[in-house]
Amino acid sequence: MKKLLLLSLALATGCASQSGTKQCVESPTAQTQASQKTKAQLARELAEITISEATHQAIFSQMGQSVAMMLKQGKKNFGDKEMALLMEIMQEILPLEDTRQMQADVAVTYYTQEELVAIVAFHKSPAGKKMLQVLPQVMADSMKLTQARVQERLPAALKKRGLVD
Q: What is the number of structural domains in the chain?
A: 2
Residues 7 and 69 in one domain: yes
Q: Does residue 25 carry a pLDDT above 90?
A: no
Q: Which residue has the higher pLDDT, 76 or 125?
A: 125
The string of pLDDT tens digits covering residues 30-58 is 555 656 899 999 999 999 999 988 888 88
Mean pLDDT across the chain: 80
The string of pLDDT tens digits covering residues 124-135 is 999 999 999 998
Q: Which domain holds residue 139?
A: 135-165
Q: Does residue 118 carry a pLDDT above 80?
A: yes
Residues 119 and 142 in one domain: no
- Answer yes or no: is 129 within a domain: no
Q: Does residue 155 carry a pLDDT above 70?
A: yes
Residue 1's pLDDT is 40
Radius of gyration of the chain (CA): 22
Q: Does residue 19 carry a pLDDT above 90?
A: no
Number of H-type helices and E-type strands within the chain: 8, 2
Residues 119 and 140 in one domain: no
* Three state DSSP letters for 5-25: HHHHHHHHCCEEEECCEEEEC
Question: Please, how many CA atoms are within 13 Å of residue 83, restricted to the half-sphere of its CB?
Answer: 14
Residues 117 and 139 in one domain: no
61-81: buried (b, 16+ CB within 10 Å) or exposed (e) per residue?
eeebeebbeeeeeeeeebeee
